[in-house]
Amino acid sequence: MQRSLVERIRARWVTGPIGHGAAFGIDVALTFRLWVRWRLLVARERRG
């Protein structure tokens, strides 16, 4: 029982940060894309 419990905790520690990092990276990428689109729209409005 103790070994399986330790393995579960280790698995959580290993997958947790990686999964969180991946989700954070996706959020950053989406936010960056939205920011770029917004900047392009603002530039178009200023030109036109």
Q: Mind listing the pLDDT tens digit for each residue in 18-46?
A: 667 777 777 888 899 999 999 999 999 99
Q: What is the pLDDT of residue 24?
A: 78
Question: Using CA atoms, how far apart are residues 24 and 31, in angstroms rounded to an integer?
Answer: 10
13-47 CB burial, b ≥16 within 10 A, e <16: eeeeeeeeeeeeeeeeeeeeeeeeeeeeeeeeeee
Q: Report if pTM > 0.75.
A: no
Q: What is the pLDDT of residue 17?
A: 66
Q: What is the pLDDT of residue 14?
A: 66
